[in-house]
Structure formats: structure tokens, C-alpha cells
Amino acid sequence: MNNLRNSVRLIGNIGMNPEVKEIGKDKKLAKFSLATTEVYKNDDGEKVNDTQWHNLIAWGNQAVFSEKYLKKGYEVAIEGKLTSRNYTDKEGVKRYITEIVVSEILMVGNKKD
């Protein structure tokens, strides 16, 4: 049950090609976004597409995989954990970011047309 304490599983479409950075000699970091869409009918019977955007971070082998295989529009399943951090921007405003640190990536479909 400990794995359930901070666990995220999503299936969605890559929103941008992964941005990969070298950290030190042997470590890579990949940043990219994932869109998940829920489709439902509202009270008037109209179809509504509700898209949520998620910031993803992949380290090490997952970053290498992301750089090599993932492209904008590809459908993937990910598993990871939520992390939050904050920083102060150039104007002195405190900013908060919630990200998902990816532990597993699975390609589940082709590029979305």
C-alpha cells in the first residue's frame, strides 16, 4: 500500500517534444507536457471536451527514452509521483509548480491526428 501514497497514472497525448538537458556528466533530465481529455455531456446535452495539462519530468533512462522516442501528439501511459516546488521570479513574485516525476512510460498509440 505504500506505493499508493503518492502515485499518479495518466494516459494522454504529449503536448510538446521533450526538452532534454544534460545534468553533469552522466545524468539527463527531460521536461514535457501531457494532455488528458475527458469527454462528457453537460446539462443541455452538449458534448464537452475538458482537457487538463500536466507538467512531466523524467530522469535517467526515462529521459533517454523520452528524447529518443517521444514526439508531440504521441499517446502514452505514464506512472509517477506528484511533486511541488516554488521559486521567486525576476519580478519578486513567488511561483508554485506541480509536476509529475515519471517512473514509467508506455507508448499506447500512434501520433494523434
Q: How does residue 112 score in pLDDT terms, banded at 50, 70 and 90? A: low
Q: Which fold has domain 2-111?
A: OB fold (Dihydrolipoamide Acetyltransferase, E2P) (2.40.50)
For 1, 26, 46, 74, 106, the CA distances from 12, given in Å and listed in that order, are 25, 29, 23, 8, 11
Q: What 3-state DSSP class applies to 39? A: strand
Name residues whose C-beta falls within 8 Å of residue 44's C-beta, 6 or more positions apart in sequence: none
Instruction: Write down the pTM of the prediction.
Output: 0.84
Q: For 22-26, 54-58, 101-105, which range has the lowest pLDDT when averaged over its residues?
A: 22-26
